[in-house]
Structure 1
């Protein structure tokens, strides 16, 4: 038997982490156990829409924890009913199933679509997804994803997910067969490097799926809950999908996700779907607090305005350093570095007290709190300006 000798050794080694322990967060900032402060433009990969430790979420959790943690999903509870009603009222959907993670919500969407195919489409089960897509880390959601790094892992994969090309409606049309039941996509492919589906493509996709009697599933784990300047990203295109998944930001930092569907698509029978902690009142109380803040029109307008400011500052930064385009929408943006220097920039920014993310070697992604200030944006830009100047100088010497 081998005992861990270092405090970090007891955690399974599944990713490279800096040897820093974070102990406190507030808004756009984190502090480590050496009292170093970090300006956070990652926010747990879009998990904290109101920043770290928002008072409204902390108070909602504390109040609910004193009343009821969970009565079992076999019974109704107040917060889950209230949150489901609020989500239905602010979307085009009719029913909600709560889950604990985005992957679990997407797994539920896949199951719902396949149940729909079994009941109404002669057993059709294939779901067309997209190259570059990312839908989670369960076996089915990894199979649905179009991430190259997943291809050799955990074989055999779950079959039934042919891959189309984003923004290429003909590539979707070619894959449709008698076995097809749905099309599933992210309105913006975050993990692939922030590649948006165009509004025109989403409109074409909605028209095609309706014409062929297919379900349209939007994975809004990263884009939902105000991230793009609207409550849900599908609203930009003026379409109404059949199924939507939410995660990350809906809980404001706690594990909460949701599967939403129209009455037409809601076809689970009793026993088809469930989960021990799903819809528990503690997490749903946090979700209610988040939605009450984010769902306000003034808040969403501020996200759109702040996103435009961040985009303009990134464009200036790109021009100064000869970099590429800015992609994305609202406060989900990416800077094309045109070179595979993302990891080096992330590491140097971290050393300077700023957290940014590089989902692809030539890309920086920015997913700050939705209430990030312009002063915080300028501080991040100043840090990157310094880092890029050093990286440029080093490359010229090399």
Structure 2
């Protein structure tokens, strides 16, 4: 066989392994586990880090204020140095809509060794527990981003699932917005690639070795947070949700991750540049800033995602039947694994044929992330740049 055919065969073998041996990552049936209402509803503190979020708060914050929760709950919104009136807007919305009590606090700029979000979370958790003995503090913390809208029973269902399953961390991957062409091309693939890296079934197994969470919606038992030393133990993590889940798991906690049914991100990504910034700011950090891992990732994406359509087209043009057959079959398996995610997002199955194009875009975003890091720009988000992890100042 030709080199082209052998490449296509390798790609097909990789897809057959991904289909059957990677935790059935392509399935979308990992939803909140069976749950029963607890006899006594625990206290919960909802902590919302927010930096320049005035554009999304009018949509997201009212859904938190309106939570139908039988127990005691409050919202602590951490205004992380916003310049657009985020804190004042939050107070205005709370006055207008009522519902759960809201406090707005501000932590000041993060010290060296802390990312902004984790510094805000630390401050919010401390504020939620201030003035209350440890035994009387909130039993659970709902860590949720400012762009996340929750269904009215979201907090109740998360808490019931955690109590019923004796879970220390319950996380739902929020359904991201899919409204324009670029979002349709890239957003479902973002969740698909995440699930491929961290198969939800593997995360959810007892004594699992795979750990991950979705930072937009994390219900965390306070006791588990203390045992894991979070957020201090992950203070410089750019990919904070996965780092948080690993810390909880390593300290003996049980974690669960699945797709959301009533938790949605309202943040728009109308242009390719918006998606590009979201991915490239942390893609190289995911590879631990390793040139070797970057090279392996680029080669792997090329063989797994780009080779099948290339082999099919070249095989047909050159009369290389083995290359065309193997490439076409690999492309068909690839598209088939993407269909459940497209169904979950309510998108046309025809988008599955464009998954190689989407993978190429993500490959370029990853390379751009590495280039930015080499130029000293590192992970940039809302005016802050984290080029390299810095040693943290000792706690006092």
**Shared fold, TM over 0.5:** no
* Bigger helix share: 2
